[in-house]
């Protein structure tokens, strides 16, 4: 195979007030015709900058300092050095979008909301092939069919905000492919999507690559994605290539220490007894004398669950007002539909599901940040059952100390105008605990507990990295020594190596402080690492609840099966079954087969099939044979 | 779409009725009426007032009737094109206002046009050449315009016109055309005089608009869809016009509604300073002498302008932005 793209010793720098910062320093790799190369790295590694440099769409303050980007157009066999070409020149513009095109991470913002999908796709045709009118429309509908839009003719006329995330990404792919490029650059194309949608999009890119004979340059941070789509892999770190090679070699015989460490930090699915992830930098929690481990008081039935949720429901009303107030319709969406589960003292129960499945709504109702429509939440407070769901705001206050919440976004959850000391001592101020001296000492202990330097107490959150901020958030949660901690996607905004660090910290703290976790996540690998039991939710319904080994070994519910089938394993010898993923319709409850289907009159309930394994179904007799 | 317009027009009508009631109440709020002011004036001049004459006048003008009756008489009259009777001028309001209303409208329309035509290219240039010398210079001039009171600018222009050209640029036409029927000569004279008040009144609006457009466009230029367009191979100019500029237009259009009354009320002092035959100074004197029908008509005129401006901007927004047009069936 011939090299389609050759990047040689590329240097890209950013001009900032503090001087020039090199984001890419001497990167070289190649993309062969028709192959798929993955560039892997953590945030800030310069992988996206490489893609922008190839496209000639670097930010205004960035420029290529040296090196060459040789692109050999397979149609004309002319070799152009893109690095030397003026990015505004006619020549570059014919290559950009015509011969090389790109899709981005954010399908929500990548398309203009003011123009129809068809308009934006045909624009590329008009620019590169001089097509317009009906001919362009026909080509556009062809390509929309190719990317498997359910109704391409209608899609032509829709606006991007009328489409779901997965469909927007398909529209984006259609736009990139409509001129038949020789190279498609996919910059984190599936990161913002749900796991089942991600698998479909990856499968689509793979299929189209074969069908159209184009090469793909995949930029990603996800080793699972790499293992499933790439032929060759380039690992970058701090703007330099650490290692590159064929995908099998990269996973089997990682040579560079960074790559070895990165692979060790990726959550897997098979663990030996007591095996831990190995982050690039391990944190050891140091507990002082003030923050005690929670000993179970004498005479308390330890087997009683700490939290019981019974038949919890919540629906939201969406008032859609047509133009002119006519056709006003009130849409009721059941965000949470009769969900019941309990959390045992000292365990980690994970709730998994895709966006919009109601997992966060459940957690907010437990926190009483939102009132449930029906159902009850019972908290076992030192042996006495308390109905949190009936409590007024005032009565709730003492329980706020016992249930705490870790947020997903480490940037938005800390007040940028408070120092770390203020942030960590605020829980004591709110609950009027201790005097200044006591607070200072506890805060110091908290910093040690999450492995942060106590000398940084006077700093503001912006001077910390994402992982450090998340640890500040965890320290704030632990300040009041809660019993139950709700973690809402605590690691999904973090890089793999930092993710492993925070997961290990959470694991250690659970043991040290005797905590109980309700862990909300969309990432099956993370959940597999940290959880004891897993509850799977789909469209507001709890469909399956089982100890994690059972769930992974013998999933029962069709949705759980579809979900597990869609998870890309970071292991080339365990590829995704793209065929099965493409055909799955199980994310829609209307397609669930009997006995899992949704019937109005007698809605299904969770049925015990042994070993603590519950599945949502109507009838036992059928299931027994399956299990 | 049409239902939307229909609904908006109905709401507009209702709004105007409510405004008319408010206007009437506010005008009536100060103690006394036009006649008491008139009597005071006569007394001050040492004349004797015949109480019989006063009672006669009061019933003649309908001032002895209850307020609600007066209001409805006024409202119904207005719908028929009869805006009432000006006590001060002893003429029907329509005759008093006459040309002034038209000249006001021409002046305001020209000002709005001037604001848009000046601010749009400058705003776009400022945003696309952020932090260049051009941007800094235009920004500086813009801030000057924003900070200078209109009437001061008017005075300065009047002074220099007098010193340099030896002419008075006050007024909206040559003195010989005043109160004359419209002829070509009069129109030309109006146009020749128009630019000075337009510049004076429009400067601050232009400056504000430049700042807003620049900020909006800068926000839009950062957006991902702009990069998408560039990655498609679009040239910079076409890209700018098709995507970010169209998005940045939204606040531009939404401003039409608020710009109109701002221009009208902002021009009162300038009109007084430059002795422009517009509605502003007359409104002022009508309010002072409690000439209620005249004042009320002016206030209603302002209200109608505002409401129409809002309507126009809403309609344009709905046409330009599918997100507003298709509001309702939006899925998330």
What would the DSSP string read from start to end of A591-611? Answer: GPPTTTS--SSS--EEEE-ST
| pLDDT number for residue A533 | 94
CA distance A318 to chain B (A): 9
pLDDT digits 0-9 by tens, B175-229: 777 777 777 878 887 877 788 888 888 888 888 888 888 998 998 888 889 999 9
DSSP A52: H
- A493: which 2 tokens? 């905004």
Residue with the larger pLDDT of the pair A412 and B49: A412
Helix (H) or strand (E) holding A429: helix A420-430
Region of A356 on the Ramachandran plot (φ > 0 left; ψ -120 to 50 alpha; else beta): left
**Chain B CB contacts of A113 below 8 Å:** 225, 322-323
Q: Identify the band that residue B3 occupies on the pLDDT scale cut at 50, 70 and 90.
A: confident
Nearest chain A residue to B330 by CA distance is A162
Do B283 and B268 contact (CB within 8 A), yes or no?
A: yes
A172 touches chain B (CB under 8 A): yes
Question: Which chain A residues have a beta carbon less than 8 Å from that of B2?
Answer: 324
Torsion angle in degrees (nearest 10) through CA of B140, B146, B152, B158: 70
Please indicate if any CB of chain B lies within 8 Å of the CB of A123. Answer: yes
Question: Which residues in chain A have their CB less than 8 angstroms from residue B231's CB?
Answer: 55, 57, 96-97, 101-102
Residues in chain A where the model's pLDDT stays below 70: 1, 273, 292-302, 318-330, 600-602, 620-627
**8 Å CB contact of B231 and A57:** yes
Interface membership of A112 toward B (CB under 8 Å)? yes
**Eight-state DSSP code of residue A116:** B
A112–B243 CB contact, under 8 Å: yes
Q: Any residues with CB less than 8 A from the CB of B44 and at least 6 apart, and which? A: none
CB contact (8 A) between residue A321 and residue B328: yes
* Nearest CB partner across the interface for B233, out of A127, A322, A326: A127
How far does A506 lie from chain B, in Å, by closest CA? 33
Whole-number Cα distances in Å, A211 to A100, A128, A208, A576: 17, 21, 5, 19
Q: Is A114 close to B234, i.e. CB distance below 8 A?
A: no
pLDDT score for B331: 33
Q: How far B131 CA lies from chain A's nearest CA (Å)?
A: 13
Chain-chain contact of A114 with B247 (C-beta, under 8 angstroms): yes
> Coil, strand, or helix at residue B256?
helix
Chain B CB contacts of A172 below 8 Å: 228
User: pLDDT tens, B59-102?
Assistant: 777 777 788 888 888 888 888 877 877 877 878 888 887 777 78
Residues of B in contact with A165 (CB under 8 A): none
Q: Is A593 on the interface with B (CB under 8 A)?
A: no
| Residue A324: predicted pLDDT | 41
Q: What is the per-residue pLDDT for A622? A: 56
Mean pLDDT estimate for chain B = 81
pLDDT at residue B332 in the model: 29
Q: What are the CA-CA distances from residue A606 to residues A268, A336, A367, A556 (Å)?
A: 29, 15, 24, 12
Residues B321, A324: C-beta atoms closer than 8 Å: no
ipTM of the complex: 0.77
CA distance A321 to chain B (A): 5
Cβ–Cβ of B331/A164 closer than 8 Å?
yes
Residue A530 has what pLDDT?
Answer: 92
Inspect the interface and report whether the beta carbons of B243 and A106 lie closer than 8 Å: no
Chain A contact set for B328 (CB, 8 A): 320-323, 327
Q: At what angle do helices A436-449 and A466-478 cross, to 10 degrees?
A: 130
Greater confidence (B55 vs B214) lies with B214
3 state DSSP class of B63: coil
Domains and CATH numbers, chain B: 19-82 (no CATH), 104-320 (1.10.3720.10)
Q: What does the alpha-carbon distance between residue B148 and residue B153 come to, in Å, rounded to a whole number?
A: 7
CA distance A163 to chain B (A): 7
pLDDT at residue number B52: 80
Q: Which residue has the tokens 């397979």?
A: A74
Asked if B225 and A326 come within 8 Å (Cβ–Cβ), the reply is no
Does A136 contact chain B (CB < 8 Å)?
A: no
């Amino acid at each position: 195979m011939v090299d389609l793209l050759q990047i040689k010793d590329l240097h890209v720098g950013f001009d900032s007030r503090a001087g020039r910062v090199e984001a890419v320093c001497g990167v070289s790799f190649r993309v062969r015709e028709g192959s798929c190369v993955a560039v892997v790295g953590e945030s800030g590694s310069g992988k996206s900058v490489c893609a922008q440099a190839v496209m000639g769409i670097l930010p205004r303050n960035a420029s290529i300092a040296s090196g060459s980007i040789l692109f050999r157009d397979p149609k004309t066999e002319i070799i152009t050095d893109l690095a030397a070409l003026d990015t505004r020149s006619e020549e570059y513009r014919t290559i950009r979008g015509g011969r090389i095109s790109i899709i981005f991470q954010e399908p929500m913002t990548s398309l203009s909301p003011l123009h129809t999908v068809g308009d934006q796709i045909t624009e590329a045709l008009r620019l590169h092939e001089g097509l317009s009118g009906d001919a362009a429309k026909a080509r556009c509908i062809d390509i929309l069919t190719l990317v498997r839009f359910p109704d391409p003719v209608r899609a032509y006329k829709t606006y991007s905000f009328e489409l779901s995330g997965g469909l927007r990404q398909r529209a984006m792919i259609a736009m990139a492919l409509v001129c038949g490029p020789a190279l498609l650059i996919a910059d984190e194309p599936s990161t913002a999507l749900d796991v089942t949608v991600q698998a479909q999009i990856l499968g689509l890119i793979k299929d189209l690559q074969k069908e159209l004979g184009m090469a793909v340059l995949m930029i990603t941070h996800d080793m699972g994605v790499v293992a499933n789509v790439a032929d060759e892999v380039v690992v970058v770190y701090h703007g330099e290539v650490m290692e590159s090679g064929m995908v099998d070699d990269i996973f089997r015989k990682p040579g560079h220490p960074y790559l070895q460490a990165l692979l060790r930090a990726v959550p897997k699915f098979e663990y030996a007894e007591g095996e831990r992830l190995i982050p690039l930098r391990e944190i050891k929690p140091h507990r002082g004398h003030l923050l005690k481990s929670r000993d179970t008081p004498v005479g308390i039935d330890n087997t009683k669950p700490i939290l019981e949720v019974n038949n919890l429901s919540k629906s939201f009303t969406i008032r859609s007002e047509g133009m002119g107030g006519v056709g006003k319709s009130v849409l009721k969406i059941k965000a949470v539909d009769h969900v019941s589960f309990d959390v045992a003292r000292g365990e980690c129960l994970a709730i998994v599901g895709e966006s919009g499945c109601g997992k966060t709504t459940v957690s907010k109702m437990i926190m009483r940040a939102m009132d449930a429509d029906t159902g009850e939440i019972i908290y076992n407070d030192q042996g006495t059952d308390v109905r949190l769901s009936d409590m007024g705001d005032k009565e709730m206050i003492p329980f706020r100390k016992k249930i705490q919440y870790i947020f997903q976004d480490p940037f938005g959850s800390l007040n940028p105008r408070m120092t770390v000391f203020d942030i960590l001592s605020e829980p004591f101020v709110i609950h009027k605990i201790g005097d200044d001296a006591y607070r200072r000492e506890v805060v110091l202990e908290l910093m040690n507990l999450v492995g942060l330097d106590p000398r940084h107490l006077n700093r503001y959150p912006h001077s910390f990295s994402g992982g450090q901020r998340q640890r500040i958030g965890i320290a704030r949660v632990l300040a009041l020594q809660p019993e139950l901690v709700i973690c809402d996607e605590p690691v999904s905004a973090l890089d793999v190596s930092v993710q492993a660090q925070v997961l290990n910290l959470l694991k250690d703290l659970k043991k040290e402080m005797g905590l109980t976790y309700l862990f909300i996540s969309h990432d099956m690998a993370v959940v597999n690492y940290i959880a004891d039991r897993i509850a799977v939710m789909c469209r507001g319904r709890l469909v399956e609840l089982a100890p994690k080994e059972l769930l992974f070994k013998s999933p029962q519910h069709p949705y759980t099966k579809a979900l597990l089938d869609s998870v890309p394993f970071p292991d080339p010898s365990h590829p995704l079954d793209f065929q099965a993923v493409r055909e799955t319709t199980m994310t829609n409850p209307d397609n669930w087969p009997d006995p899992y289907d949704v019937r109005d009159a007698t809605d299904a309930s969770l049925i015990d099939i042994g070993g603590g394994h519950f599945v949502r179904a109507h009838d036992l007799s059928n299931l027994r044979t399956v299990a | 779409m049409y239902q939307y317009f229909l609904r908006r027009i109905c709401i507009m009508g209702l709004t105007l009725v409510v405004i008319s009631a408010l206007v009437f109440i506010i005008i009536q709020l100060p103690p006394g009426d036009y006649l008491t002011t008139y009597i005071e004036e006569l007394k001050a001049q040492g004349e004797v007032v015949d109480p019989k004459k006063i009672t006669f006048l009061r019933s003649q003008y309908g001032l002895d009737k209850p307020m609600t009756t007066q209001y409805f008489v006024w409202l119904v009259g207005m719908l028929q094109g009869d805006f009432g009777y000006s006590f001060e001028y002893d003429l029907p309001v329509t005759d008093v206002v006459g040309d002034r209303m038209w000249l006001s409208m021409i002046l305001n329309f020209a000002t709005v046009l001037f604001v848009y035509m000046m601010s749009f290219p400058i705003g776009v240039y400022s945003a696309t050449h952020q932090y260049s010398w051009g941007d800094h210079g235009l920004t500086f001039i813009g801030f000057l315009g924003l900070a200078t009171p209109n009437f001061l600018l008017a005075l300065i222009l009047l002074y220099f016109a007098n010193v340099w050209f030896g002419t008075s640029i006050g007024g909206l036409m040559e003195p010989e055309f005043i109160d004359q029927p419209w002829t070509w000569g009069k129109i030309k004279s109006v146009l020749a005089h128009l630019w000075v008040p337009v510049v004076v009144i429009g400067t601050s609006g232009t400056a504000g608009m430049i700042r807003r457009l620049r900020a909006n466009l800068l926000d839009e230029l950062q957006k991902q869809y702009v990069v998408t367009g560039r990655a498609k191979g679009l040239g910079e100019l076409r890209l700018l016009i098709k995507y970010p500029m169209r998005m940045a237009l939204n606040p531009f259009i939404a401003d039409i509604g608020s710009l109109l009354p701002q221009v009208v009320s902002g021009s009162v002092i300038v009109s007084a300073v430059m002795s422009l035959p517009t509605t502003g100074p007359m409104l002022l004197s009508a309010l002072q002498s409690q000439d209620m029908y005249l004042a009320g008509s002016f206030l209603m005129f302002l209200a109608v302008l505002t409401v129409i401006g809002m309507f126009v901007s809403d309609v344009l927004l709905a046409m330009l932005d599918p997100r507003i047009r298709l509001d309702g069936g939006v899925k998330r």
